[in-house]
């Protein structure tokens, strides 16, 4: 593979130094690197593998025109953080692509550090395992009831996430036709895991009115969660433009750690509340769509909606003790 020297213009092998004038080819961009790497690597994999790498490459587009040797670990981590709400497999594919590109530079004598082993995926980040404190839950709950301020509706969405255990991407895909207010449940069709697909999630009493409000907020939209203008809400945009500003507004994420809590923390908070409330572990696994390899008994597959509602009412009672607001469970 030949390129043009960035100094003398002579044709040079795709390498670190020009063989004519000796100038370092430090301006080889990440895009140049990717284009040459895929000409070789894509010959060895199928269409599905290529599609996965192309999706990962799109996430790296902010760095595409940067000299490959100048990109830092912090910049790669920033890109990784930007897809924190996407599936773990997509985060893995992005890390794999970064590693492959770095390894490819070894044969080209380019001075590019392989930062892939040091990248932290959100599914395993310690902060993604953080949960909301009782005081933070109480503040969010009361703010969601004020109907005042720029983010009170977003506080309702956070409370729905926190008291259903739904993954953020699951909630943002819920259609109004998936919500059964009479049976007090939400049906989820799409999920990133087999265990999460086609499950029924009971609605805890404290969020019943919130869900009803969200259903009526923009009648023309088929989706439960909508943007302020009534369009389908993009999770990534909501996370950046609504969730984090809400956390800052409430003083939950401090200035020195503005991304301390992320939307996925709501799911862990729900699991923690359920555990504290004494919810049966098997029922909880089914409600949150978590395929725990240690729990394999068929018993967990046969829980009825009524039984799940009895369990989620335990969470309702615990939430009432946190907020100081009593809710009828009927």
pLDDT computed for residue 125 by the predictor:
47
pLDDT computed for residue 229 by the predictor:
87
Say if residue 136 is in the same domain as residue 215.
Answer: yes
> Do the domain assignments include residue 330?
no
Report the 3 state secondary structure along 162-201: HCCCCCHHHHCCCEHHHEECCCCEEEECCCCCCCCCCEEE
DSSP, collapsed to helix, strand or coil, labels residue 315 as helix
Each residue's pLDDT tens digit, 283-303: 888 888 865 534 323 332 335
Supply the mean pLDDT for the chain. 81
Structural domains of the chain, count: 2
Name the band, by pLDDT with cuts 50, 70 and 90, for residue 14: low
Q: Domain of 38?
A: 2-122
Cβ pair 253, 136 in contact under 8 A: no
Helix (H) or strand (E) run with residue 13 in it: strand 11-13
Say if residue 21 is in the same domain as residue 166.
Answer: no
Say if residue 26 is in the same domain as residue 159.
Answer: no
Which string of DSSP letters, residue by residue, matches 24-71?
Answer: B-TT-BHHHHHHHHHHHHGGGS-HHHHHHHHHHHHHTGGGTTSBGGG-
pLDDT score of 114 more than 70: yes
Say if residue 74 is in the same domain as residue 160.
Answer: no
> Do the domain assignments include residue 55?
yes
Average pLDDT over residues 150-168: 95
Say if residue 161 is in the same domain as residue 224.
Answer: yes
> Do the domain assignments include residue 32?
yes
Name the band, by pLDDT with cuts 50, 70 and 90, for residue 328: low
Q: What are phi and psi of 62, to 5 degrees?
A: -60, -20
Q: What CATH number is attached to the domain comprising 9?
A: 1.10.150.130
Say if residue 278 is in the same domain as residue 137.
Answer: yes
Lowest mean pLDDT among 5-14, 44-53, 63-72, 310-319: 5-14
* Separation CA 188–CA 111 (nearest Å): 48
Say if residue 316 is in the same domain as residue 237.
Answer: yes
> Structure tokens of 304?
């009825």
Average pLDDT over residues 11-17: 56
> Do the domain assignments include residue 35?
yes
pLDDT computed for residue 248 by the predictor:
94
């Amino acid at each position: 593979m030949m390129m043009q020297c960035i100094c003398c213009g002579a044709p040079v092998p795709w390498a670190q130094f020009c063989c004519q004038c000796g100038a370092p080819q430090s301006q080889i961009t990440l895009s140049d690197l990717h284009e040459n790497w895929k000409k070789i690597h894509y010959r060895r994999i199928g269409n599905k593998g290529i599609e996965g790498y192309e999706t990962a490459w799109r996430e790296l587009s902010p760095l595409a025109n940067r000299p490959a040797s100048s990109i830092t670990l912090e910049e790669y981590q920033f890109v990784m953080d930007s897809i924190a709400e996407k599936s773990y497999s997509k985060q893995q594919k992005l890390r794999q692509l970064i590693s492959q590109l770095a390894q490819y530079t070894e044969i080209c004598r380019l001075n590019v550090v392989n930062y892939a082993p040091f990248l932290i995926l959100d599914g395993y980040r310690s902060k993604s395992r953080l949960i909301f404190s009782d005081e933070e839950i109480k503040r969010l709950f009361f703010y969601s009831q004020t109907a005042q301020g720029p983010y009170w509706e977003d506080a309702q969405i956070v409370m729905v996430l926190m008291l259903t255990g739904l993954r953020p991407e699951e909630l943002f895909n819920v259609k109004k036709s998936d919500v059964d207010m009479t049976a007090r449940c939400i049906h989820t069709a799409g999920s990133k895991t087999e265990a999460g697909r086609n499950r029924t999630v009971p609605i805890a009493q404290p969020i019943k009115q919130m869900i009803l409000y969200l259903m009526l907020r923009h009648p023309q939209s088929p989706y439960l969660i909508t943007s302020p203008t009534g369009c389908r809400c993009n999770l990534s945009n909501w996370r950046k433009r609504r969730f984090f500003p809400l956390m800052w507004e409430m003083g939950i994420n401090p200035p020195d750690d503005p991304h301390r809590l992320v939307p996925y923390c709501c799911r862990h908070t729900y699991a923690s509340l359920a555990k504290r409330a004494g919810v049966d572990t098997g029922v909880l696994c089914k409600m949150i769509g978590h395929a725990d390899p240690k729990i394999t008994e068929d018993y967990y597959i046969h829980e009825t909606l009524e039984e799940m509602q009895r369990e989620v009412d335990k969470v309702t009672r615990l939430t009432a003790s946190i907020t100081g607001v009593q809710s009828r469970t009927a």
